A and B are shown apart, each in its own frame.
Chain A
Amino acid sequence: MNYFLSEEQQMIKELAKKIAEEKMKPVREKYDENGEFPWEIVEALADADLCGLYIPEEYGGFGGGVLELCLCVEELCKIDGGIALCVAATALATFPLLLFGTEEQKKKFLPDIASGKKIAAFAVTEANAGSDAAGIQTTARKEGDFYILNGTKCFITNGGEAEIYVIIAMTNKGKGARGASAFIVEKDTPGFSFGKKENKMGIRASSTRELVFNECKIPKENLISREGQGFIITMKTFDASRPGVAAQALGIAAGALEDAVKYSRERIQFGRPICSFQAVQHMLADMATKVEAARALIYATARTIDNDPKARATKCSAMSKLFASDVAMEVTTNAVQVYGGYGYMREYPMEKRMRDAKITQIYEGTNQIQRDEIALALIKESARSK
């Protein structure tokens, strides 16, 4: 299918593919096995100028948008859906700065992110505040020119490895969601430490950790936007970042499909390649159709956002994430089926894709939350049109 990508976008795809094939493929099994953080790949992506695709040129980035980010993430995830997260999760934490940061904040933090020198992490989730973000218990109280943070965030992607953290904390508990604010916290700030490192089912090359704040004192200049804007910032950040998760899911699915087709041509049973059996053919056909539909939806969503970054893109963004992640789960499950017993074995990269795919249905809003948001948008649109 022709998505009419520009020459530059083609270049990004080509380069990301090269890095995935030459740098990630040889080490993907190792990082999945030992769960270490793939710094060598962060460096390779930085050297290739792929860390700042969506960051404006004036801050050292490439000046692209969500589509450029998605193209890169998709290609990387065709080979490994876990390692690529170092970039995708950094983007998630960069969007609040891009969308709401002051000029000073942008100048201070974006160039190091764009160059790949530093990675970032976004922290909303807490033990008792997952889908219900309004239940956040981490607090930030103002004292003179500072804010003092207390509380614990959990399941934070890039936690412990990132240098720059965007934290959602309550500045006014009484106001519920409207009492949340967003702050930038740098690693090594006194009172900021890391807790439990999670041992996960998939995306094991990605670091997922607890962040612990104990009387952590940060300058008031690190507040993003105004007090009480934390929830809005989070929602708008997700609007921009969910296509990235969708692209991760798409890459995992597309990689699984590609390998499944190849394998079906090589695997001989009953004296002929299994791709000659209609039972297998129909599975592959369904997989391919869904992957292509997911791709079309994601690219269209990304273009919609890039065309007008200020407009709310909640509905299409949620649709991309919902559809692509469900497709990824289904396609990787069926790809394992095509591989048969070999698909179930760790020796082949297929079972890993199934493990990696699962998280895309859960994080940055479970798919149930995505459906809520889509339905809410539909109802609002309908009410407005009357």
Chain B
Amino acid sequence: MNIVVCIKQVPATTEVKINPETNTLVREGVESIINPFDMYAIEEGLRIKEKVGGIVTVLTMGPPQAETALKEAISLGCDEAVLVSDRAFAGSDTLATAYTLARSIKKIDDFDLIICGKQAIDGDTAQVGPGISEELNIPCVTYVKKIEKIEDDKICVERMMEEGYAVIQLPIPCLITVVKEINEPRLPSLRGMMKAKKAQITILNAADIAAENNRIGQVGSPTLVSKIFAPPFKGEGEMILGDVGEQVEKLVNKLKETKVI
């Protein structure tokens, strides 16, 4: 089974700063990590490999320093790593990113299963996974919480729903995005870290993947971010304490005070 796991390097913080002029993320001075949801994708890829054999290729689009993320993936047990990197990709939105990654996956050749995390913690769009499947014209199931069965030509997964889950069978090749319920990601091993240190990362540029110029980078990105703002801070809540009678009385008074009732 040839498994491709798509990952993204993201800032290791939830306090994301935005450049007010370009409306893009400020990455300088912030430590970078593999998007936490992508760690579940890597783990699931490795588990499938351990069960049915095959290779796991980890793929990312990003600046040269994204190599660190790929090396970390290798230290966990991934076999191959591909970095798609080119100045021409700068400013890509989710559509251009999905296109670029899809072109790269075609270049990687035979693939059976593509696994992505459900979304990245910086942009939170959850669009790139489904976008890739659209570009490659293969089926896609998002929010997978369990792989029930995997065979050479089909895979059966549980897709998380608001209540309960759906069991879906889809043919291979296909793409799934996974949620954190699917597994517990492993930690690296010493041998893995040694291997990662020496690993050769394949680097692909726009020409290598024969990308159409008008579909990549800023030009290929129709998304227009008109404004980014932090939602107004909600004041601290107030705990109403005491026995039930007192609590009810205090609550009713509060509601009257604020003219809710």
A8 at interface (Cβ–Cβ under 8 A)?
yes
19 example contacts (A-B, Cβ-Cβ < 8 A) are as follows: A7-B197, A8-B194, A11-B190, A11-B193, A11-B194, A15-B187, A15-B188, A15-B189, A15-B193, A18-B187, A18-B188, A22-B187, A44-B187, A47-B186, A47-B189, A48-B187, A48-B189, A49-B190, A62-B190
Main secondary structure of the interface of B (DSSP, over half): helix
A48 touches B190 (CB 8 A): yes
Write the residues of chain B forming the contact surface with A, with a CB cutoff of 8 angstroms: 186-191, 193-194, 197
Q: Which residues of A contact B197 (CB under 8 A)?
A: 7, 11
B190 touches A19 (CB 8 A): no
Q: Which residues of B contact A49 (CB under 8 A)?
A: 189-191
Question: A interface, how many residues as a size bin?
Answer: 10 to 19
CB distance from B33 to the nearest CB of A (A): 13
Distance in angstroms between the alpha carbons of A23 and B193 in the assembled complex: 18
A50 touches B187 (CB 8 A): no
CB distance from B231 to the nearest CB of A (A): 29
Q: Which residues of A contact B194 (CB under 8 A)?
A: 8, 11
Q: Which residues of B contact A113 (CB under 8 A)?
A: none
Write the residues of chain A forming the contact surface with B, with a CB cutoff of 8 angstroms: 7-8, 11-12, 15, 18-19, 22-23, 44, 47-50, 53, 62
Question: What 4 pairs between A and B have smallest CB-CB spacing?
Answer: A49-B190, A49-B189, A48-B189, A11-B193
Q: Which residues of A contact B189 (CB under 8 A)?
A: 15, 47-49
Q: Which residues of A contact B188 (CB under 8 A)?
A: 15, 18, 48
Main secondary structure of the interface of A (DSSP, over half): helix
Distance in angstroms between the alpha carbons of A19 and B189 in the assembled complex: 10
Distance in angstroms between the alpha carbons of A257 and B186 in the assembled complex: 30
CB distance from A273 to the nearest CB of B (A): 23
Distance in angstroms between the alpha carbons of A155 and B129 in the assembled complex: 57
Distance in angstroms between the alpha carbons of A108 and B112 in the assembled complex: 42
In the complex, besides A11-B190, A48-B190, 4 extra interface pairs with C-beta distance below 8 angstroms are: A18-B187, A47-B189, A49-B190, A49-B191
Q: Which residues of B contact A62 (CB under 8 A)?
A: 190
Distance in angstroms between the alpha carbons of A242 and B186 in the assembled complex: 32
Q: Which residues of B contact A11 (CB under 8 A)?
A: 190, 193-194, 197
Closest Cβ neighbor of A7 among chain B residues? B197
CB distance from B187 to the nearest CB of A (A): 6
Q: Which residues of B contact A48 (CB under 8 A)?
A: 187-190
B187 touches A23 (CB 8 A): yes
CB distance from B227 to the nearest CB of A (A): 38
B190 touches A12 (CB 8 A): yes
Closest Cβ neighbor of B186 among chain A residues? A47
Closest Cβ neighbor of A64 among chain B residues? B190
Q: Which residues of A contact B191 (CB under 8 A)?
A: 49
Closest Cβ neighbor of A16 among chain B residues? B190
The listed residue (A7, A47, A53) touching B187 by CB distance below 8 A is: A47
CB distance from B69 to the nearest CB of A (A): 16
B187 touches A19 (CB 8 A): yes
Most buried by B among A12, A49, A62: A49
Q: Which residues of A contact B193 (CB under 8 A)?
A: 11, 15
CB distance from B256 to the nearest CB of A (A): 38
Closest Cβ neighbor of B197 among chain A residues? A7
CB distance from A111 to the nearest CB of B (A): 15
CB distance from B43 to the nearest CB of A (A): 13
Distance in angstroms between the alpha carbons of A12 and B197 in the assembled complex: 13
Distance in angstroms between the alpha carbons of A23 and B185 in the assembled complex: 12
CB distance from A27 to the nearest CB of B (A): 14
Closest Cβ neighbor of A68 among chain B residues? B190
Distance in angstroms between the alpha carbons of A47 and B46 in the assembled complex: 14
Q: Which residues of B contact A19 (CB under 8 A)?
A: 187
